[in-house]
Chain A
Amino acid sequence: MEFIKDPILFLANWLTVLFTGWDMTDGLITVINTFLGVFLVANFGMLFVIFLIWLERKLAARMQDRLGPNRVGPYGLGQTFADILKLFTKEDTTPAGADKAVFNLAPIMAVLSVLLIWAVVPFAEDWIGTDLNVGVLYIVAVGSLGIVATLIGGWSSNNKFALLGAFRTVAQLVSYEVPMVLSLLVPVLLARNMGMGGIVAEQEHWYSIFFFMAPIAAFIFFVSSVAEVGRTPFDLLEAESEIVAGFHIEYSGAKFAMIFAAEFLHAFTISVLTMTLFLGGWQGWGDQFPLVGWAWFMVKSLAVYFLVVWVRSTLPRIRIDHMLSYNWKFLTPLALVVLMVTALLDNLVVAQGPVIRTLAHLSANILIGWAAYAIMKKRAAQRPPRAVVGQPRPVARPPAPEMPAEAPVLEAPAS
Chain B
Amino acid sequence: MTPVQIIFLVVSLMLLVSAFMVVTVRNLVRAALWLISTLFMTAVVFVLLDAGFLAVVQVVVYIGAIAILFIFAVMLTRRVMADTGPQTNANGWWVGLSSLALFAGITWILLGWGGSSADAPIFPAGLDTVTDLGMGLVDPNGFILPFEVASVLLLAALIGAIVVAWDRDN
A residues sitting closer than 8 Å to B (CB atoms) are 27-28, 30-31, 99, 101-102, 105, 132-134, 137-138, 140-145, 147-148, 151-152, 155-156, 163, 166-167, 170, 174, 177, 194
Q: Is the CB of A105 within 8 A of B56?
A: no
Residues of A within 8 A of B53 (CB): 133-134, 137
Q: List 10 A-B contacts (CB under 8 A).
A: A99-B27, A99-B30, A101-B30, A141-B56, A141-B60, A147-B68, A155-B29, A155-B75, A177-B64, A194-B130
Q: Is the CB of A148 within 8 A of B56?
A: no
Q: Is the CB of B29 within 8 A of A152?
A: yes
Q: Is the CB of A137 within 8 A of B75?
A: no
Given the contacts A27-B2, A99-B30, A105-B33, A144 and B64 also touching, CB distance less than 8 Å: yes
A102 to B30 CA separation, bound complex (whole angstroms):
8
Contact mask for chain B residues 40-56; partner A; CB cutoff 8 A; 1 contact, 0 none: 00000000000011001
Given the contacts A27-B2, A155-B71, A170-B72, A134 and B64 also touching, CB distance less than 8 Å: no
12 new A-B pairs (CB below 8 Å) besides A99-B81, A141-B63, A151-B75? Answer: A99-B27, A102-B29, A132-B56, A134-B53, A134-B130, A137-B53, A137-B56, A143-B64, A144-B64, A144-B65, A148-B63, A174-B68
Q: How far apart are B55's CB and chain A's nearest CB, in angstroms?
A: 8
| Interface residue SS majority, chain B | helix
Q: How far apart are A177's CB and chain B's nearest CB, in angstroms?
A: 8
Given the contacts A141-B64, A145-B63, A155-B29, A31 and B3 also touching, CB distance less than 8 Å: yes
With CB as the reference atom, state the residue of chain B lying closest to A177.
B64
B residues sitting closer than 8 Å to A (CB atoms) are 2-4, 27, 29-30, 33, 36, 52-53, 56-57, 59-60, 63-65, 67-68, 71-72, 75, 81, 128-130
Residues of A within 8 A of B36 (CB): 148
Q: Is the CB of A102 within 8 A of B56?
A: no
Given the contacts A102-B33, A144-B68, A137 and B128 also touching, CB distance less than 8 Å: no
With CB as the reference atom, state the residue of chain B lying closest to A195.
B130
Q: How far apart are A199's CB and chain B's nearest CB, in angstroms?
A: 14
Q: How far apart are A194's CB and chain B's nearest CB, in angstroms?
A: 7
Pick the contact of A151: B4, B52, B68 (CB < 8 A): B68
A105 to B34 CA separation, bound complex (whole angstroms):
12
